[in-house]
Amino acid sequence: MTTESSFINLLRGFATDPAARGLLDDVAVIDIGDASLIITHDMMAEGVHFRSNANPADVAWKLLATNLSDLAAKGAAPVGVLLGFMLGDDAWDRSFAAGLKEALAHYNVALLGGDTVANRGDKRALGLTALGRAKHIPVPSRSGAQIGDIVYVTGTLGDALAGFELIDAGFDEVGPLADAFNRPVARLADGQKLAPIVSAMMDVSDGLLLDAERLARASQIGIEIDLARVPLSPLYISYRTDSLESRMQAASWGDDYQLLFTASPEASLSVPATAIGRVISGGGLTLKDGVNPVKLPPTLGYQHQ
Amino acid sequence: MTTESSFINLLRGFATDPAARGLLDDVAVIDIGDASLIITHDMMAEGVHFRSNANPADVAWKLLATNLSDLAAKGAAPVGVLLGFMLGDDAWDRSFAAGLKEALAHYNVALLGGDTVANRGDKRALGLTALGRAKHIPVPSRSGAQIGDIVYVTGTLGDALAGFELIDAGFDEVGPLADAFNRPVARLADGQKLAPIVSAMMDVSDGLLLDAERLARASQIGIEIDLARVPLSPLYISYRTDSLESRMQAASWGDDYQLLFTASPEASLSVPATAIGRVISGGGLTLKDGVNPVKLPPTLGYQHQ
């Protein structure tokens, strides 16, 4: 079984166009005439990204939101999307279409085209390509963090983890924690406001610690995160208490789709965000809890296989 | 089980942006600054578009070529592609990556990004998004055919059908007919040369008759095709003889990826092509064999389910 990283390494050998950004970013950035176009493609597979019994309308919502979240991290405004859809059960497909319609209307994004295929297998795979137009040049990347910068994250972390666990345990799916997992929010407006002041930015899709480590690697600097500052929601705290362990879990689980960014200490933030650490020399990630050093957990986040 | 057409009808209800072209075209056309961008997304599913024992390098080639063929029909020059890849067996994935590298180099196209996912099912699905830049404005569509125009097709038809049958029968896969099926050619240079003189254009992906009928419907005119003029290769003729029946088969099977287009009788063709019919009043498709009318076959081409 090939792993994602070994396959991407194979591709990296010939994805040498500068627009590919060495396949180190979530998106490609293409200069077309006088505009910078952002393009991203994310897939969702049954049994990996969604349960076989998930609400198809939620699957549609999440497929759109996760792709738009990649645009948000570039400060881009969506232009439209193309859908790659595997046909199946009629009721499922109708519910998916209805959910997609609702999500597109929510984000005011156009469906431009795509493809549908029959499914001869026992599981579905869905894909979405999202196109956006950069609102600020240069387009933020993962690789611009500078020593001395502050590390920030928008919103709170862990709600999607709590929602996932509640759904897994058979609880009602309509609560706000379940919603955080099923219907994540792409922070498009925040991304556009932040793009002019950040030195690096990405969305938190696979876990704060893992994504921060990727940002550190891409920027060739070190990142120190103070777990005591990781922002938690009152709901998450009431679900799981406020402890170092629960903060560590919130920081090493994905699906939050908040924006992780670095900015100079002089920058005046244009959206609410929490300072959770700083950019230091060296490489990779270091953790602390207030003044106490904390060992890295064995798993920093969701590693795709 | 939803059919492709019923699902697309659902989507059409909310894909109302003009760039979506009513989901009647193979591509979306987006004006970005001073450029017209062409974007298309095609999927290939195991058991539907490729055999489980197909050469993975051929699958990669075909996935790229079928998407580039959609750009060719718009007279566009490729900008780059994004890959949606389902991981699996290591040898398969390596062979796919090698085939993709070779095909990208052949077409001089950049791999810009994409996504990989694990596969929890028993079949693979792959997707590719291709981006192109229009070289001629207005961008050719399916809907511009005018009564009195001549109907043309590039190259020959039926070789891919013969190749498919030979592979199915267990014959060696390396012959030119098998190649026609496994490694179709996207006619990018032809499309760019034809774009300024055509009234309508599309690629023949699902069969000449079916695609001509779609072009007729999109243009709200009738198309009459003379089967006696359908161009066949010497190899196809030696494989299957030159009869009305073999011409009908070549015209109602897909995977040829030739360009089907209409142009005024005064237009001077910029690439070799065969005049196979004319645009008439009325709607839909009518067939003849020289002077004799021919009934439409029950199946005009490959209907996606």
* Alpha-carbon gap, residue A92 to A53, rounded angstroms: 10
Q: What is the pLDDT of residue A305?
A: 46
Subunit contact A97:B19, Cβ cutoff 8 A: no
Query: How is B83-119 classified by DSSP, letter by letter?
Result: EEEE---HHHHHHHHHHHHHHHHHHT--EEEEEEE--
Q: Convert the pLDDT of each residue in A127-165 to its tens digit.
A: 999 999 999 999 999 999 999 999 999 999 999 999 999
Q: Nearest by CB to A45, which of B19, B82, B117?
A: B117
Percent of chain A with pLDDT over 90: 83
φ, ψ of residue A298 to 5 degrees: the values are -65, -30
Contacts with B42 from chain A: Cβ below 8 Å: 115
3-state secondary structure at position A190 = helix
Both tokens assigned to A292 = 């106490």
Q: Nearest by CB to A19, which of B35, B80, B117?
A: B80
CATH fourth-level superfamily of A150-294: PurM-like C-terminal domain (3.90.650.10)
Q: What ipTM was reported for this prediction?
A: 0.91
Hunting for tokens 């195991």 — which residue is that? B46
Ranges of chain B with pLDDT below 70: 172-173, 303-305
Spans of all domains in chain A: 4-134, 150-294
* Alpha-carbon gap, residue A213 to A197, rounded angstroms: 21
CATH fourth-level superfamily of B4-134: PurM-like, N-terminal domain (3.30.1330.10)
Q: Convert the pLDDT of each residue in A7-29 to its tens digit.
A: 999 999 999 998 898 888 889 99
For residue B1, what is the nearest residue in chain A, using CA coordinates? A89
Q: Is A11 exposed, middle or buried (0-12, 13-18, 19+ CB in 10 A)?
A: buried
State how far the alpha carbon of A194 is from the alpha carbons of A144, A268, A273, B305, in Å. Answer: 14, 10, 10, 45
State how far the alpha carbon of A304 is from the alpha carbons of A48, B85, B112, B113, B150, in Å. Answer: 9, 13, 20, 16, 53
* Alpha-carbon gap, residue A283 to A34, rounded angstroms: 36
Subunit contact A84:B127, Cβ cutoff 8 A: yes
State how far the alpha carbon of B151 is from the alpha carbons of A77, A215, B60, B192, B275, in Å. Answer: 41, 55, 32, 18, 6
Contacts with A254 from chain B: Cβ below 8 Å: none
Q: Which residues pair with A44 in a beta bridge?
A: A126
Residue B99's closest CA among B54, B69, B68? B54
* Averaged pLDDT, A276-281: 98
Q: Convert the pLDDT of each residue in B184-238 to its tens digit.
A: 999 999 999 999 999 999 999 999 999 999 999 999 999 999 999 999 999 999 9
Q: What is the pLDDT of residue B269?
A: 95
* Alpha-carbon gap, residue A178 to A171, rounded angstroms: 9
The number of beta carbons lying within 10 Å of the beta carbon of residue A181 is 22
Both tokens assigned to B15 = 């894909």
Minimum mean pLDDT range among A51-60, A78-87, B16-25, B178-187: B16-25
* Averaged pLDDT, A105-109: 96
Q: What is the band of A299 on the pLDDT scale with cuts at 50, 70, 90?
A: confident
Q: Compute the C-alpha angle B132/A61/A96, nearest 5°.
A: 90
Q: Convert the pLDDT of each residue in A191-245 to its tens digit.
A: 999 999 999 999 999 999 999 999 999 999 999 999 999 999 999 999 999 999 9
Q: Compute the C-alpha angle B281/B285/B290, nearest 5°.
A: 95
Both tokens assigned to A68 = 């738009």
